[in-house]
Each structure stands twice: as C-alpha cells, then as structure tokens.
Structure 1
C-alpha cells in the first residue's frame, strides 16, 4: 500500500481496474465498509441528507454538514475518502474555501459538480447545469486551492440529461484540461454509452451505479475491464440499512418481541466490536 490514503487512492484510480467503492453516511457505516475489506469509501451527500435530515437530495446539505461528517468518518477509518461536495456551495471563490475546509477535514478526493444550485440527485428530473466556462472556472479554483498535490479533484457533469451525452463528454474534457484528476459523467442511460466512455476520455473515470436509478447496472469486473477507475455504489449501504430497519421493526410491531435473530439484527457483541469497545476497555484498564 502507498504511504498515505491520498497516494493510495491516486494509485487505485490510475490502475483503472474498476475498484468498488461503497458510500457511507456516518461513521458507523464507514466502519462497516472498512470491516468488509473495501479499498476506499465515498462520503455521500445524498446519504447524509437522507439520514441526517430525513430530506431528499435537493441541495439541503451545506458545507458544515459534509465537513463534520468527513471529519468524524476520518477519525473512524483509515480508508481513502472520496467526499461529495455537491456544487462547491457557491461560486469559484466558495469552491476554493470548500476545498480548503474538506482537505483539513480529511478528504482524499473532493467531488464537484456543474449543476445549478440548489442541486438535486443526478437521477431526479428537473436538473439544470451552469455554463461550461463557469464550471471550468470552479474546477480551476479547486485545483488551485489544494495544499497537498496528492489530494484528488473529481469533476462531475450532469449535462448528459440536459444537453446530451456529447455535450457532457465535451465538458468532461474541459474539466480534465482544467486539472481534474478524475471524471464523472452522471446518469448515463445505456449500456452502449457506458462501454464507449473509457475510449472517449483519457482521464480516469468513475461510473455511478444507482440502484433503481437511470443508469443500467453493469458489473464492476466488466467496468474494470473497460478501464473505469472507480465503480461507485453511493447509497447501497443506506438502502440496505433502510430495508433492514423496516424488516426488523415490522417483526417487532407484529410479534411484540425481538431477540438476537441474525436474519433481522446484528448481535449485541457484533455491534460492540464494530464500535471498538474492546479497545476502549483496554484503554480504560490502562488509565484507570
């Protein structure tokens, strides 16, 4: 493994082998991702918005919320962190501030997108994108703002849904010229386009697999063979958690009791293991 999470993430991206990256919406979900052996994780803006506020992914999250979650997750895991910074929370000058804040919070890659604020989930209707020149300026500001050259800047475009795939590819090329290390064309709608994109852009790319979204699901092994650097499942953990809560609580409602059924709940011991209680017990014995 490379010496730092940022160097390691850069190596993963440049290997273009379709590294699977799940999203985490809080420190405990990040612990689960790391515990299961994934190589990196994504701090998901949609997940933070859904799980922290109970709201849809429509621009309700601000810099403070994503920075706070990034710092807490950074403390909880050693994995490289790709952080969703939405539109950068304003102009190019705001983007500069956003990058500085998230770099200090522990981000190893910062994702910025070209939607009009307030943004919305890339798989919702009604998206709009800002002018290409403005978007390029924001990527330039992000690149200039980083203090560690190993911090990656990921440029996302949502133009495929509003201006067409060719316009999205053109924007992605402009973002790469502005210094973006990783490209993300959101909401690609056909398997043919998914297979074509790695041959159209020289810079490494991320492909987003949204369960129930507009993009057809393609296996990570095939995406790696095509040359994608990252295969993102931003909210698989969130959707799994919601399904698990609904299942367990339905049984509780109907039967009026709930034991340690492994089909429904993690055991008490497993919960304590994931939050590191044995290590805290050892520290208590050391200090008290």
Structure 2
C-alpha cells in the first residue's frame, strides 16, 4: 500500500472488512482476556472507543430507542437497528455486537434479522428470551418465553447465518423471573442450540457471576449497566471470574446526556456557555478524531491543479 493509499484507508468506512472483524471478535472471546465493549450511541462515539483502546463496540437497543426519543419496549424496527448499527460498525476497525431484541417477530424474522445485520457489517448480535413487547432487562415486570420458543428463535438465527464467524449470542432474562438455576439451565440449552455466547442479564453480585461461570461451558457476556440490578464489578473482577466479555451499554449516553442537561441549564440561567468551555471537547480534538488532516491531504492530491498566472490568448 502506498503512502497515499494508506492515508485514504478508513476515511469513508472501516479499512478492515466485516469478515475480518468477525474473526477478530471470535479470537477475542477465545483469548482468555476480557473483551471490553462500551456502548456507542453514534459513529463518532465508536471512533472514540477505538481511539481510547477498547476491544470492541456494543450497540444497545435501549440506547438506539432513547436516541430517537422512544422507550425500550420493542418499538424500534429491524431496518432502524440495521441502519444505525451499520453506521456505527463502519466507523471503526473494531468488531461490533448489536442488540437484536427478540428477533423482531417470529423465528423466521430472527433468521431475516441475522441476514440483514450481516449485510450491514455487524460482527454479531444477541437475541433475548423475553416475550413481546420486551422491557429493559433491569426493570421489574419482565416475562420470558418458554424454552422451546427461544430454541426455535435461535435455531432459525443459526440456520440463516452465512458467515460462520458471525457471533450469535443468546441473552437470558430468566434470573429475575425464574431464578438463577433456571437461568443456568436455559443458558445450557441455548448453547446446545448453537449460541456462541451467553449474555447473563441482571445477575445480582459476584457470587452469581461465579456460579454461572462454573456451570456453563461457553463464552459468557456480563452487562455492567448503571442503576440496575447488578453490582458494578470491575473488569479485573470479571476477568478473574472467567467471563469473556463485558458491555457498558448505556454509559456513554448517560455521560453525554448528563453533561448536555447540565450545560443547557447553565446557559438558560446565565445566558452564556463561557463557563462550560473547560469541560467541552475542543475543536482540535474533534478534528483529530475525524481525521480532518487526512481528508484535506486526500482532497489536495485529487485537486492539485494550478491555474496559469496569465490568461491564455486565443486567436
């Protein structure tokens, strides 16, 4: 690759093909090192996640719903999730896991979901065993479908997969509904049905994460969401227990919205944003993330003509 080609790589989309990102995701899960996937509510946030040095990006259904002004109760559509998820996936060279809720319908819809998300460039997705309409996994009042119904959902998803490295993750919400033992039994059945990764939603404390790890012999994903039912364990704690991945699904949105609300209230009360400048991302840092200089170089190479200093004389 020439220096000019290197400068162009990744300007308009990821420089790593989707197939290679899926290989990287699987390698990470098998590495013995905890994979940390903060949630991205925009492609720009995904770029920052990569720049800081995390191993992957998570696209939360709750965040996507909130970002378009809706509660997380199954109102978003497959096309909305695929479009936003694809934008985020293409923004970095990191692999990305996306929340596919309950599959957007019957088992055949789960199959179509996998095909659509593969086409969008995602590295994997997770399906949950809640009934429709689903709820946030850390709210009360959830219910789960019979095990057989979730197995049909997973079987359809696995069958529809064209890239064997596309990760299909099964999330169980049974801990809060049927208890920990039932959640473990469900996880084992989901793994037998072809799930590559198990998302253990709303476990209470370190001892429950340890019990799940001891009982289930497939990669496990922990959800460290704020203000929920789970204790906020550190990455070291989760790694020591033997978990393979952790998501921080809503963290960046909550940080951003907290700062936005505080800033708007200050402007409303003082009439100026001057007191907020120290907490803002500087224009120069934004330009660095967006690679303004590389775009400028690319533009200059394409349009490097010069005008004659004197006009041509035509007969």
Give the alignment's TM-score, normalised by structure 1: 0.95
The alignment yields a C-alpha RMSD, in angstroms, of: 1.8
* 1:276 corresponds to: 291
SS at match of 1:25: coil
8 A Cα contact 2:198 2:220, kept in partner:
yes
Which whole-Å CA distance do the structure 2 matches of 1:235 and 1:144 have between them? 31
The worse-fitting range, judged by mean Cα deviation, of 250-259 and 18-27 is 250-259
* 1:66 corresponds to: 81
How far does residue 261 in structure 1 lie from its aligned partner after superposition?
A: 4.9
How is 1:9-20 mapped onto 2 (pairs within 5 angstroms)?
9-20=25-36
- Residue 255 (structure 1) aligned to one of 242, 264, 270: 270
Give the alignment's TM-score, normalised by structure 2: 0.87
Which whole-Å CA distance do the structure 2 matches of 1:16 and 1:186 have between them? 21
8 A Cα contact 2:158 2:168, kept in partner:
yes
8 A Cα contact 2:263 2:276, kept in partner:
no
How is 1:69-84 mapped onto 2 (pairs within 5 angstroms)?
69-84=84-99
Structure 1 residues 107 and 248, CA gap change in structure 2 (3 angstroms): same
- Residue 162 (structure 1) aligned to one of 167, 177, 181: 177
SS at match of 1:154: strand
Which whole-Å CA distance do the structure 2 matches of 1:141 and 1:8 have between them? 24
Which whole-Å CA distance do the structure 2 matches of 1:73 and 1:99 have between them? 17
Q: Does 1:144 align with 2:159?
A: yes
* 1:243 corresponds to: 258
SS at match of 1:15: coil
Structure 1, unaligned runs of 5 or more: none
Which whole-Å CA distance do the structure 1 matches of 2:234 and 2:242 have between them? 13
* 1:173 corresponds to: 188
* 1:198 corresponds to: 213
Q: Does 1:267 align with 2:291?
A: no
8 A Cα contact 1:210 1:234, kept in partner:
yes
8 A Cα contact 2:172 2:186, kept in partner:
yes
Aligned structure 1 segments of 4 or more residues deviating by more than 3 angstroms:
259-263
The worse-fitting range, judged by mean Cα deviation, of 171-180 and 69-78 is 69-78
How far does residue 13 in structure 1 lie from its aligned partner after superposition?
A: 1.1
Task: Count how many residue pairs are aligned between Structure 1 and Structure 2.
Answer: 287
* 2:309 corresponds to: none
Which whole-Å CA distance do the structure 2 matches of 1:188 and 1:44 have between them? 18
* 2:230 corresponds to: 215
Flag the structure with larger Rg: 2
Which whole-Å CA distance do the structure 2 matches of 1:89 and 1:126 have between them? 20
